[in-house]
Amino acid sequence: MELPEKPQLYLITPPEFELSSFPDVLARVLDTHKVACVRLELAARDEDTVSRAADALREVTHARDIALVLSDHSVLADRLGLDGVHLSDAARSVRETRKLLGEDAIIGSFCGTSRHDGMSAGEAGADYICFGPVAASSLGDGSYVAQEVFEWWSEFIEVPVVAEGGLDAARIAQLTPFTDFFAFGQEVWSAEYPAQRLGELLEAMG
């Protein structure tokens, strides 16, 4: 499978946001840049908070024909009528989640820095594999995904790959030829003008 000319955009919500204002901020970003998918990833774990956030964002994304996936809560994603789920446990629950949600649901798998986990998740039926972070950080154990993993994946594996975490202009430029999606979260939302900041990051694709 040939990669598209440029990677597509994938947005990750902040871990906390105001329901009264964030949907409008998201809408402005989506109206400014072409985004393929939005992931609702909240720090909160109670069903009511997640459900209300999902309802609000679903109106924004579906009005623009953009997929909305929920982190890890497979049953809730199904009940809320979302497009799928993003699993953070590598390949462990992909097969079971596919049985639960059916063939039409989007199932993504975060595989950290492990090429082996990525291959296992792809074989189990994941629609995309997410590797990250792509640069060294003081967070976690400091490990990151080498560019060679993306180069190898783009050459030999057909399952789309997402680069997430530690993205700056330099890493974006290096990975553009070898990834299908860039996933942006706090890189965008921490800016005063998120749509403008996303545009600046996109310029690094060349």
Helix/strand/coil percent split, the chain, to 5: 40, 15, 40
| CATH number listed for the domain at residues 8-203 | 3.20.20.70
Contact between residue 185 and residue 167 where contact means Cβ atoms under 8 Å apart = no
- pTM equals 0.95
What lies within 8 Å, CB to CB, of 116 at 6+ separation is none
- pLDDT by residue for the chain (206 residues), tens digit each? 454 579 999 999 999 999 999 999 999 999 999 999 999 999 998 999 999 999 999 999 999 999 999 999 999 999 999 999 999 999 999 999 999 999 999 999 999 999 999 999 999 999 999 999 999 876 667 899 999 999 999 999 999 999 999 999 999 999 999 999 999 999 999 999 999 999 999 999 98
pLDDT for 138 equals 64
Q: Crossing angle, helix 115-124 and helix 147-156, to 10 degrees? A: 30
